[in-house]
Amino acid sequence: MPDVTAAPQTVLSAYTTLRLGGPAGILTVATETDQVVATVRNATEEGRPLLVLAGGSNVVIGDAGFDGTVLLLRTRGIRVVEEREDSVVLRVAAGEPWDDLVAYAVEKGLSGIECLSGIPGSAGATPIQNVGAYGQEVAHTIVAVHAYDRETRTLRVMPPAECAFAYRASVFKHNDRYVVVEVDFRLARSAESAPIRYAELARNLGVEAGDRVPLQQARDTVRKLREQKGMVLDADDRDTWSVGSFFTNPVVSAAEWAGLGLDAPHWPGDDGTVKIPAAWLIEHAGFPKGFAGDGVSISTKHTLALTNRGTGTTEALLGLARTVRDGVRACFGVELHPEPVLINCAL
């Protein structure tokens, strides 16, 4: 995550993985949960706009910035709050870097999040869009989300049923009612990974789907695959100056899928829906890796990542996103939706 040990800068591009975003009204750094709650409560009571920013890896902030309080969430801590013979519950501070938590779990022989290795950002943001990759998502392991409720002005413990987890969605996304302060994860005591579900990962591990592998092997293989796609942050690699996937994979009904008549890879869901890979649609609509806009481009390693090459602006990035979205719509009649949260800007 961006370093904030130095005096905070008020230009938000310093705190986003895209390195985009204009000035903040007021910038506040919170290292303790009490500070988080006090800042949120004050802003709410005074009716001031508030933006909670943690790793800045899933936000697109407008060039005009954010004229309100920006709360940089930097709380830390992982503690065991429940121990059973076969599992433990870890309570994790919202600001804890996600990949540090995964490394900790792998080292301690705790299984369930190893395939989420290498994802940037904070633990507290993972429930927001039910972070997922390589066959795992945090909804599989979250047992409670501790959140400050700005409506009732109380701290609440929300069980998974209240979180409404779905594909890259939850009750928290596009909803500033809740500020997550801690998250509880139940992880299995096992030196082996959860069953490998993702075909590409199984292939690279040399196992069948459903097999288990040593935790460290799962972590290393996922990180290697992600690095090849520019999906692990690297300040020297502009293909990683992104929000990861810019668009979610479109989900359509079986009837819509049949009507599209596409010869595309697809994943049928348990509920009769069909998920279509956005990367395939983008490539086949005529937008290859490296397709460039003004100071921005599609990553040279992955079609789904839109990147800032160093001289981009938010408006240029969104211009590229519009070109891609409109091109896919014109070619296939399928609508692409952005995965990141857009702040003070629109697609």
**For the CA atoms of 327, 328, 331, 332, what is the dihedral angle to 10 degrees?**
-160
- Within 262-281, which residues bind ligand FAD (CB under 6 A)? none
Q: Is 168 known to be catalytic?
A: yes
Q: Is 245 known to be catalytic?
A: yes
Asked if 28 interacts with ligand FAD (CB under 6 A), we say: no
DSSP string, 268-313: E-TTSEEE--HHHHHHHTT--TT-B-SSEEE-SS-TT-EEE-SS--
Among 244, 250, 293, 338, binds ligand FAD (CB under 6 A): 244
SS3 category, 41: helix
Asked if 58 interacts with ligand FAD (CB under 6 A), we say: yes
Stretch that binds ligand FAD, among 130-138, 185-193, 271-279, 321-329 (CB under 6 A): 130-138
Asked if 65 interacts with ligand FAD (CB under 6 A), we say: no
Question: What pairs with residue 184 in β-bridges?
Answer: 91, 144
Asked if 243 interacts with ligand FAD (CB under 6 A), we say: yes
SS3 category, 341: strand
Q: Is 339 known to be catalytic?
A: yes
Q: 257 or 279, CB closer to ligand FAD? A: 279
Asked if 53 interacts with ligand FAD (CB under 6 A), we say: yes
SS3 category, 13: helix
Among 56, 112, 312, 338, binds ligand FAD (CB under 6 A): 56
- E-strand stretches of 150-266: 154-158, 178-189, 251-253
Asked if 205 interacts with ligand FAD (CB under 6 A), we say: no
Q: What are the Cα distances from residue 320, in Å, to 35, 187, 297, 312?
A: 38, 40, 7, 11
Do 53 and 15 form a contact (C-beta atoms < 8 A)? yes
Give residues in contact with ligand FAD (CB under 6 A).
Answer: 17, 51-59, 73, 94, 119-122, 124-126, 128-129, 131-133, 172, 179-180, 231, 233, 240, 242-244, 341
Residues with active-site annotation: 168, 245, 339
